[in-house]
Amino acid sequence: MTLLLCLIAAVPVVETKELRAEIHVSETAQIFHIVDQLSNWGKYQHQQYRRALTLDAEDEALLREHAAIRKARGYGLLDHAFYTDDSREKALATLPEKERDVERRVLDRLAPKLLPFIAAHAKNVAAARDRLQATPELQRFTAEASRFFLGAHADVPVYLMPSVEGASGGGYNGDRLTLEVAEKKGGVDAEGLDDLFFHELWHAFAAGQRDAMKATGLDVTTLSEGFAHAAAPGIYGKRQDLVDAVSRAKAQPWSDNSARFDRLGLALLPSLNEALRNGETFTAYLPRAVAIYRGLEAVSAALENTKPRFFCFGEASFELGKLIFDQGYDTWMRAMNAKALAELRSKFRPSDVVVFVLAGDEAIPPEFRELFSGQWSDVEASRKQHAIGTWSGKFVDRQLVVTWAKDVAALRPLVAKVPGMQTAQR
């Protein structure tokens, strides 16, 4: 197979049989990307830009407005608008009026502060663009990734972002791939860039398997990142970087995102490497990955010697969850909706208890039912047979509890004695 390098409309394109990646350097995208990271709208924003730039109170207020839009919209709308080679005005014109007005004020305010930073690092971004057109081992990587992911083909726009020495990062969100170009002794950290490129490309090839990962009942982000860290830097990059990252974070709990991703990546690495060498597919390998995830999670919980925490869902949980909290347990109380589930799911540990507090006719939404796996019919049958009661079961080493009654007053004694507290060490 021949690696093809070509230019289409002055945009470099890297192609193999399994990959087509346009490499973009766009001022519009760079300004938006840095603003997005500065806003800290989610759990995974990169902090090097805050360390490199000085912000005032007005900047922070506008960033909060941007963060509110991001939290409401998620990935997609803004990514498709701003990760483009068009001007900022053309990008803004694609947005609905409300979002357009906010983003215009945010970007117009912050662009003058960001442009000098972008210009100062432009040489390294250009060097990174050249490097990606000659990435070592790219043909091997794309062939093996495509075969593993059932013949997937990745057609992705890649946007390069300026960064600072020792600080790189990336993402594959909204069908756009971003790479933050770290500096190293005044130049580009070439090996780090290669590893980051492979890492994010792995996410692109894996995109079609997200539903399969979700069906495992595990946190999809953790499982996905574990795979990607095992691939790069583990298999296709500097494996020692992954080992060193795990070693540096050995004191961090399982709840720490970076530590959790690195540990799972290192744990998956030997068997994933074997699977790739033997021509296995993702479908065949996934059960092994799930077993490794659960085992590592259980070991982490044992080493941290943690008592159970309680995650309570339902309108009545805001009042009744305090009964659990008052007995000395960390307790989360949330309404039953997809946003709350996504927020808390990555926090679940094997020792934790998930409690549904149902008053009156309140029902458990479909997106929560996958937590019960094959036990959901038992829950439904119990509620039909009894006007008040408690159901308890387990899934993925976590205890699940459903309590129900006609009103909050009737629920109170049930929640005060929720299974999981009686034998727990207080």
Residue 421 forms part of a structural domain: no
Model confidence pLDDT, tens digit, residues 355-369 = 999 999 899 998 888
The verdict on 284 and 228 lying in the same domain is: yes
The verdict on 374 and 401 lying in the same domain is: yes
Among 271, 305, 339, identify where a domain stops: 305
For residue 2, the model assigns a pLDDT of 41
Residue 15 forms part of a structural domain: yes
Copy the structure tokens of residue 381. Answer: 């049958």
Q: Are 260 and 229 within 8 A, CB to CB?
A: no
Range of the domain at 400: 310-416
For residue 37, the model assigns a pLDDT of 95
Residue 6 forms part of a structural domain: yes
The verdict on 172 and 221 lying in the same domain is: no
The verdict on 157 and 197 lying in the same domain is: yes
Instruction: Output the pTM of the full model.
Output: 0.74
For residue 83, the model assigns a pLDDT of 97
Residue 422 forms part of a structural domain: no
For residue 306, the model assigns a pLDDT of 67
Residues in the chain: 426
In this prediction, the residues of the chain whose per-residue pLDDT falls under 70 are 1-9, 186, 305-306, 373, 395-397, 421-426
For residue 396, the model assigns a pLDDT of 58
The verdict on 260 and 319 lying in the same domain is: no
Residue 182 forms part of a structural domain: yes
Among 261, 281, 305, identify where a domain stops: 305
Model confidence pLDDT, tens digit, residues 250-265 = 888 888 889 999 999 9
Residue 423 forms part of a structural domain: no
Residue 194 forms part of a structural domain: yes
Q: Cα separation of 372 and 375, whole Å?
A: 5
The verdict on 229 and 288 lying in the same domain is: yes
Q: How many domains, in total, are found in the chain?
A: 3
For residue 425, the model assigns a pLDDT of 39
Among 187, 209, 231, identify where a domain stops: 209
The verdict on 100 and 241 lying in the same domain is: no
Q: Cα separation of 48 and 121, whole Å?
A: 14
Residue 12 forms part of a structural domain: yes
The verdict on 264 and 362 lying in the same domain is: no
For residue 185, the model assigns a pLDDT of 79
The verdict on 265 and 342 lying in the same domain is: no
